[in-house]
C-alpha cells in the first residue's frame, strides 16, 4: 500500500528552488533513506512532507491512513532539545499530544502507549530522570520513544545519529531496523551513506542536478549512485 506519492515535486523556500523533479513512492513497510549533498533539500523535503512547508510545485499525495496522528517525527538534535528541563516521562508522553483533540488531559490508553514505547526503547528506568541530564544516546532513544507515540504508520527521521558516539550510533541503527521489522515504515535523512546502504530497502538521492529513486542495489549501479558513493569514500561491500 502506498503511503506517500510525490510527483514532480519542487522544493524550496521564499520562492527559491532547491530541488525539482522529485518522483518517488513510499509503501507500507519500506525503509527509505534520503541522501545527497549538503544543501540539496533533504531536510526541506522532510518539512514539506510534514506540512510545515508547501512545495513550490508538483503533487504530494498522502494515504488517508496517515491523516491525524499517524506520523512520528524525530528532528535533528539541537542545543535546545539537549537542555530541555523536563522529565523523561513528560517528554515521551508529549508525543501523544496530537491525539488528545480537545481533551486537556492524556487518556489511560495514551499513558499506556507511552509506557510501552519507553519499554521498547529501553528507557523505562529513566522515567523520572531529567532529560537534559542524559547522554546523547539516551536522549535520542527518549525522543524516538516520543516520536513512536505519535507514529502509527510512518516515522520520519532527520539525521538521527548525528553527534552520537560509535556505540550509540550502532545501537540506534539496530533499534530503527527492529522497528522497521515490526512494521513501522521508515523515512530517514542520512549523511552516513554506508549505513544507509546497509539498512535501507530504498534510496532517494536528492541533488541540485541529479535525482534518483529505487532500490539500494539499483542505486549502487546508477551513475549518480556510483559517483556519490566514490565521492563519500564508500566501500563496495555494503
Question: Which has the higher per-residue pLDDT, 231 or 137?
Answer: 137
- Report, as an integer, the average pLDDT of 80-102: 78
What separation in angstroms does the CA of 224 have from each of 28, 57, 193, 201, 218? 26, 24, 13, 18, 11
- Cα-Cα-Cα-Cα torsion 87, 88, 93, 97, nearest 10 degrees, comes to 70
Cell of 172: 540506534
pLDDT at 116: 94
Backbone angles phi, psi at 60, to 5 degrees: -120, 120
So what's the pLDDT on residue 78?
A: 66
pLDDT of residue 195: 85
Percent of the chain with pLDDT over 90: 52
Amino acid at each position: 500500500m502506498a503511503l506517500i506519492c510525490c510527483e514532480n515535486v519542487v522544493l524550496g523556500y521564499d520562492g527559491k528552488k532547491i530541488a525539482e523533479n522529485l518522483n518517488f513512492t513510499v509503501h507500507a513497510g519500506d525503509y527509505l533513506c534520503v541522501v545527497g549533498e549538503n544543501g540539496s533539500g533533504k531536510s526541506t523535503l522532510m518539512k514539506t512532507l510534514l506540512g510545515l512547508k508547501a512545495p513550490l510545485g508538483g503533487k504530494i499525495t498522502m494515504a488517508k491512513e496517515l491523516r491525524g496522528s499517524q506520523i512520528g517525527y524525530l528532528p535533528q538534535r539541537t542545543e535546545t532539545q539537549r537542555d530541555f528541563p523536563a522529565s523523561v516521562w513528560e517528554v515521551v508522553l508529549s508525543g501523544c499530544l496530537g491525539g488528545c483533540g480537545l481533551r486537556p488531559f492524556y487518556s489511560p490508553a495514551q499513558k499506556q502507549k507511552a509506557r510501552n514505547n519507553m519499554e521498547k526503547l529501553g528507557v523505562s528506568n529513566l522515567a523520572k530522570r531529567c532529560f537534559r541530564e542524559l547522554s546523547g544516546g539516551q536522549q535520542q532513544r527518549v525522543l524516538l520513544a516520543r516520536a513512536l507515540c505519535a507514529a502509527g504508520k510512518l516515522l520520519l527521521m532527520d539525521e538521527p545519529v548525528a553527534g552520537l558516539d560509535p556505540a550509540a550510533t550502532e545501537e540506534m541503527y539496530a533499534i530503527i531496523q527492529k522497528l522497521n521489522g515490526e512494521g513501522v515504515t521508515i523515512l530517514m535523512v542520512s549523511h552516513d551513506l554506508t549505513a544507509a546502504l546497509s539498512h535501507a530497502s530504498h534510496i532517494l538521492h536528492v541533488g541540485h542536478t541529479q535525482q534518483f529513486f529505487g532500490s539500494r542495489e539499483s542505486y549502487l549501479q546508477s551513475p549518480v549512485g556510483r559517483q556519490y558513493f566514490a565521492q563519500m569514500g564508500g566501500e563496495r561491500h555494503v
